Amino acid sequence: MQDYSNFDPNSLGLKSNNIFGLPFNEESAGLVLLPVPWEVTVSYRTGTAHGPDQIFEAAMQVDLFDPDVKDGWQKGFYMLPVDRNIRKKSDYLRQCTELILSHMVDGGIVADNEQLNNKLTEINENGKIIRDWVYEMTMALLKKGKKVGLIGGDHSTPLGYIKALGDIHKDFAILQIDAHADLRIAYEGFTYSHASIMYNVLQEIPAVTRIVQVGIRDYCDEELAMIQESNGRIVTFFDQDIKERQFEGETWKQICDSIVAALPQKVYISFDIDGLDPKLCPNTGTPVPGGFEAEQIFYLFRQVKKAGKEIIGFDLNEVSCGHQAGDCIDSIVGARVLFKLCNYLVS
């Protein structure tokens, strides 16, 4: 048991401590956070690979009192060091991706260009390597009895973690907070694209019996067809439908009740920050008008717990300050979302 008798939760967060200024290490923490600084396949703007570092910095300003989960921090939260080699590999492969995308935008065919085709193969091979690395890292933590949260990076990063959970829990749902459906099949040729994460989950992890998507407002006709033909394995609460229900008099509680009713007993939360109103995440990779206030999603989480559902894990991804040198609202919001997710996971 960690001795934090000399720790003042009301004092300034100390950088000599860990995430949120907490005095825990990997051994003493009940919840361990795995940072994955990977953004090889982002489609628009970069910066998410720096998300874990930026969230860590902003987390020092988060007050430790949470009225929803009082003293949750006492269970111990610890963030593993960011693997700089992974980020270096991400930076290199991102340059390869940009060459491929530029060629495609100009009307070129990647398969007809030997050099670019080789780079595409390298990107896809490394996507599998990252998936397997995340699987091994998270499985090792789970076997130690740790609760685990993952911080991206882009939305491709949690596939290995969800796969690890699928080897332990035989029936659970993903509650996906997102602007995008992420059901593309090898989007832009990238097998492990951030836009393909939920498609890959459906293909690789049979233990995920349902994906409940909330806030989706940017998708293609193929993704819509996949949702409609999924026989209920994908349940999507589109942003437009949610807004229309509210315009016509339904309360957010009533809508949350219908979302919660679609969930089985065990729930994994996949939180893409662009599910929020873009004023809260203006530097995320692909911001989309619409979305939610953070308090709306926190209320949804409360209703999930109130209904007796078990939250078994989470990821938080696509947080980016872009190319800003200093602090930005994205990391501040991201840190508070992370704290709420941590508290609900250990509650």
For residue range 13-26, what is the model confidence (pLDDT) as tens digits? Answer: 777 789 999 999 99
Confidence of residue 322 (pLDDT cuts 50, 70, 90): confident
Residue 199: the pLDDT is: 98
Residue 6: pLDDT above 60?
yes
d(CA 210, CA 109): 36
Once rounded to an integer, what is the mean pLDDT over residues 20-45? 95
DSSP symbol at 265: S
**pLDDT band at residue 222 under the 50/70/90 scheme:** very high
Q: How confident is the model at residue 325 (pLDDT cuts 50, 70, 90)?
A: low
Q: Which of 47, 37, 42 is nearest to 322 (CA)?
A: 47
Q: What is the mean pLDDT of residues 141-164?
A: 98
- State residue 324's pLDDT score: 65
- Count helices and strands (H / E) in the chain: 10, 8
Residue 158 tokens read as: 């949690």
* Residue closest to 214 by CA, chosen among 175, 246, 247: 175
pLDDT at 248 over 90: yes
Q: Please, how many CA atoms are within 13 Å of residue 342, restricted to the half-sphere of its CB?
A: 32
Closest CA to 164 of 188, 184, 144: 144
| Residue 240, pLDDT above cutoff 80 | yes
pTM of the model: 0.96
Give the pLDDT score at 43. 82
- Beta partners for 148? 32
Distance (Å, whole) CA 203 – CA 277: 30
How does the average pLDDT of the chain come out, rounded?
Answer: 95
AA letter at 241: D
Please check the confidence at residue 3 and state whether its pLDDT lies above 70.
no
Is 214 within 8 Å of 265 (Cβ atoms)?
Answer: no
> Sign of the C-alpha dihedral, residues 157, 186, 230, 129?
negative
Answer whether residue 257 shows pLDDT above 80.
yes
Do 131 and 192 form a contact (C-beta atoms < 8 A)? yes
CA atoms within 13 A on the CB side of 83: 17
Name all domains of the chain by residue range, CATH numbers in brackets: 26-61+78-346 (3.40.800.10)
CA 259, CA 114: separation in Å to the nearest integer? 47
Q: What is the CA radius of gyration of the chain?
A: 19
pLDDT of 16 reads: 72
Q: What is the H or E stretch that residue 87 is in?
A: helix 84-105
Contacts of 19 (CB under 8 A, 6+ apart): 33, 56, 59, 77, 78, 79, 338
Ranking 11-20, 113-122, 245-254, 320-329 by mean pLDDT, the lowest is: 320-329
Task: Match 């930005």 to its residue by tokens.
Answer: 328
What was the pLDDT predicted at 60?
A: 93
